[in-house]
Amino acid sequence: MNYENLKAACKAKGTSLTAYVESIGLDTGNTGRWRHGGNPSIPVLVRMANDLEVTTDYLLGRADNPSRDTAPPDEHWLVKAYNRASDDDKGIVNLALNKYREEAALETHMVKRAI
């Protein structure tokens, strides 16, 4: 467990590490073990990542970016625009995208046959 990343994630959520650990029913003695390189169980790690809205890799110190969102900015814009579109416009977009979905499925099938 990367203790500093865990503390930072708690702070970003407006709480202290001790308060957070208590709120999920864990003994605060765990924080000392984590500070010295110990790790929580996998279920606890996953819960912490979900609660704190970070990745497990961030909590373990294997990633510098706490964000779960790895989509490029242009994809964010696309999703926002789609969500604002009328049902008719969404239908048009879906028809256009189905072409690419079918092409991707065909490519996957051809790769599997080649293996």
List the structure tokens of 75.
């994809």
Identify the pLDDT of residue 79: 78
Query: Using CA of residue 88, residue 92, residue 93, residue 94, what is the dihedral sign?
Result: positive
- Which domains does the chain possess? 3-60 (1.10.260), 73-114 (no CATH)
Question: What local confidence, expressed as pLDDT, does residue 111 receive?
Answer: 59
Selected residue with higher pLDDT from 98 and 68: 98
Contact 35, 75 (CB under 8 A): no
45 with 62: CB under 8 angstroms?
no
Q: Which residues have C-beta within 8 Å of that of residue 53, sequence separation ≥ 6?
A: 9, 13, 66, 68
Residues 6+ apart with CB under 8 A from 12: 52, 66
Global pTM exceeds 0.75? no
